[in-house]
Amino acid sequence: MARSDTVYDINCPAARPTRAAALLLACILSVPVFLILSLINWLFH
């Protein structure tokens, strides 16, 4: 169930992330994680 907020006496649905925002966030987070894991692998291999 989506909750509603009232702003200036106007009911508006709650904000929800879109697929594009989720994909962008996943891409942004995957790059540093890949670099860190690659560095760890290089150091201990």
Task: Supply the pLDDT for residue 4.
Answer: 63
- Mean pLDDT, to the nearest integer, of 15-22? 84
Decide which of 8 and 42 is more confident: 42
pLDDT over 70 percentage in the chain = 82
Structure tokens at 22: 């989720």
Decide which of 17 and 1 is more confident: 17
**pLDDT digits 0-9 by tens, 7-17:** 677 777 777 77
Half-sphere exposure of 25 (CA within 13 A, CB side): 6
DSSP letters spanning 1-45: ---EEEETTEEEEPP---HHHHHHHHHHHHHHHHHHHHHHHHHH-
CA distance 34 to 37: 5
